[in-house]
Amino acid sequence: MFLSDVLDQTIKKIKAQTANVLTLANLSLGGFAIIFSLNGNLNLSLLLIFVAALADRFDGMVARKLHIESELGKQLDSMSDIISFGVAPALLIYQGILFEFGAPGSFFTIFYIGCGAFRLARFNISENNGFFTGLPITAAGCLATLSFLAVPYFPPPFFLFIMIFLSFLMVSPFKLRKV
């Protein structure tokens, strides 16, 4: 009986942390994407951001499915999202093209990150009513990352516009139904 009780408690603890492990995987992938961007390995950074998006998608699904949603998990998810879909895509685009603009490129890189942080903070204090207010940072980060693939095909000002546009979409008041 003792071994059975210990095993049951261990399984419950592992189950309770499953979503947080996925969230930390998201954060880790975003952190590695930042490091690879800084080291000039932009294609690997791009791949890691998209894998982080998969981890982000599954952490919430797992938490709801296993009935292990928590305030800690919600906050950890936001901290991970600012790394993986705020800082990582911004640095990818900066290293890939926006550095050419000097101070304005730097400013709008930081502006994008700031708008993402604001959007996450607003989400964390708002009621969950089946709608997002503004473009979710995960979507903005994935769109910014996806735009990196177009660097050879579009002039540099296009990417400055994309970062500004995504920044404003994140903090805008429009409502978007959750899917």
Decide if pLDDT at 3 tops 80.
no
> What is the band of 8 on the pLDDT scale with cuts at 50, 70, 90?
confident
**CB-based contacts of 87, cutoff 8 Å, min separation 6:** 30, 34, 113
Decide if pLDDT at 116 tops 80.
yes
What tokens does 27 get?
A: 């954060």
Q: Which domain holds residue 115?
A: 2-177
Decide if pLDDT at 5 tops 80.
no
Q: Determine the pLDDT at residue 10.
A: 74
Q: Determine the pLDDT at residue 159.
A: 98
Q: What is the pLDDT of residues 36-89, one digit of tens each?
A: 999 999 999 999 999 999 999 998 888 888 888 888 888 999 999 999 999 999
How many whole angstroms separate alpha carbon 150 and alpha carbon 173?
Answer: 29
Closest C-alpha among 71, 27, 16, 91 to residue 53 = 27
Q: Determine the pLDDT at residue 2.
A: 67
DSSP codes joined into one string, 27-64: HHHHHHHHHHHHTT-HHHHHHHHHHHHHHHHHHHHHHH
CATH number of the structural domain spanning residue 122: 1.20.120.1760
Query: HSE-up of 144 (CA within 13 Å, CB side)?
Result: 39
Mean pLDDT, the chain, whole residue set: 92
Q: Determine the pLDDT at residue 17.
A: 84
Number of domains in the chain: 1
Q: Determine the pLDDT at residue 82.
A: 98
